[in-house]
Amino acid sequence: MLKIKNLHASVEGKEILKGINLEVNPGEVHAIMGPNGSGKSTLASVIAGNEDFEITDGSIELEGEELNEMAPEERAHQGVFLSFQYPVEIPGVTVTNFMKTAINETRKARGQEEMPANEMLKKIREKSELLEIDRKFLSRSLNEGFSGGEKKRNEIFQLAMMEPKLAILDETDSGLDIDALKIVANGVNRLKTDKNATIVITHYQRLLDYIIPDHVHVLLNGKIVKSGGKELALELEEKGYDWIKQEAAV
């Protein structure tokens, strides 16, 4: 589904991603781990099309179609979803209105009719129940005055509403207490099918107890230096990143 080849990206002339290779197939969950500042969020932003970052080499493909030159909204229309590490506030725009706009703009871009109001309502009800979100919450301004945990849960609610092909969760676990973490993880698991894929970015292994990855990659200084199965995450938890840094330096 997603094929990243030799991806190099920089911001303000400084290279952050230094040759990433990654292949994600339908039905898979990949975890990307790594210490702070290693480039995890940058990778997510570049896949989503944030043009603060310049791709200097390599390519990103989604289902055989190259994304490099595509606008961020077009990538979203193609089925890329990013759960932001730091979701932004949009005062005066309710969660419901934002979702309605996002879904209908996406449908429009795909040549579909607007979603009928009753269908939209039904979907909102269903997905807010899945994530145990109070309905009152949905009429609040997007992310304004939300706690860290509420912001993250709201990101996953949006994921549930948008039903993308590729979901990238950037540090979704940070700010969540253990109960919320379970709810969110359960939500993500329930949304999994054999046709979509998930990339979970985290620097704790905690989340991976609940969202079990098929593959774990370690990102260090802009490169994937080690890949393995879910046991790699446990090893990292136990031993930290230093041994990988040493291994990578060799």
Partner 1 sequence: MAYTEEELKKELETKEYEYGFYTDIESDTFPVGLNEDIVRAISMKKEEPEWMTEWRLEAFRVWKEMEEPEWANVKYKKPDFQAISYYSAPMNKPKYDSLDEVDPELLDTFKRLGISLEEQKKLAGVAVDVVMDSVSVATTFKKTLAEKGIIFCSISEAIKEHPELVKKYIGSVVPRKDNFYAALNSAVFSDGSFCYIPKGVRCPMELSTYFRINQAGTGQFERTLVIADEGSYVSYLEGCTAPMRDENQLHAAVVELIALDDAEIKYSTVQNWFPGDKEGKGGVFNFVTKRGLCETNAKISWTQVETGSAVTWKYPSCVLKGDNSIGEFYSIAVTNNYQQADTGTKMIHLGRNTRSTIISKGISAGKSQNSYRGLVQINSRAENARNFSQCDSLLMGNECGAHTFPYIEAKNKTSQVEHEATTSKIGEDQIFYCNQRGIDTEKAIALIVNGFSKEVLNKLPMEFAVEAQKLLEISLEGSVG
Ligand X SMILES: Nc1ncnc2c1ncn2[C@@H]1O[C@H](COP(=O)(O)OP(=O)(O)O)[C@@H](O)[C@H]1O
Which residues are near ligand X by CB under 6 A? 11-12, 16, 34, 36-42, 52
38, 41, 128, 205: which one contacts Mg ion (CB under 5 A)?
41
- Residue closer to Mg ion by CB (options 40, 217) is 40
Residue pair 98/124 in contact by the 8 Å Cβ criterion:
no
CA-wise closest residue to 183 among 204, 218, 152, 224 = 152
Quote the least distance from Cβ 202 to partner 1, whole Å: 20
- Residue closer to ligand X by CB (options 11, 93) is 11
x-or-dash pattern for partner 1, window 95-124, by CB under 8 A?
--xx--xxx-xx--x---------------
Residue pair 32/3 in contact by the 8 Å Cβ criterion:
no
- Residue closer to ligand X by CB (options 30, 127) is 30
3-state percent breakdown (helix, strand, coil) of the chain, nearest 5: 40, 30, 30
Who's near 120: CB < 8 A, 6+ residues apart? Answer: 100, 103
Instruction: Please tell me whether residue 65 binds partner 1 under the rule CB under 8 A.
Output: no
In the list ligand X, Mg ion, partner 1, none, the entry touching 90 (Cβ below 5 to 8 angstroms by class) is partner 1
In the list partner 1, Mg ion, ligand X, none, the entry touching 91 (Cβ below 5 to 8 angstroms by class) is partner 1
Question: Cα–Cα distance between 38 and 234 in angstroms, integer?
Answer: 19
Question: Tell me, what amino acid is at 101?
Answer: T
In the list Mg ion, partner 1, ligand X, none, the entry touching 127 (Cβ below 5 to 8 angstroms by class) is none
Who's near 198: CB < 8 A, 6+ residues apart? Answer: 28, 29, 30, 166, 167, 168, 169, 188, 192, 211
In the list partner 1, Mg ion, ligand X, none, the entry touching 37 (Cβ below 5 to 8 angstroms by class) is ligand X
Question: How many CB atoms neighbour CB 58 within 10 A?
Answer: 17
- Residue closer to Mg ion by CB (options 127, 171) is 171
Three-class SS state of 94: strand
Instruction: Please tell me whether residue 106 binds Mg ion under the rule CB under 5 A.
Output: no
22, 48, 185, 199: which one contacts partner 1 (CB under 8 A)?
48
Question: Cα–Cα distance between 159 and 162 in angstroms, integer?
Answer: 5
Give residues in contact with partner 1 (CB under 8 A).
48-52, 71-73, 75-77, 80-82, 84, 87-93, 97-98, 101-103, 105-106, 109, 141, 158, 162
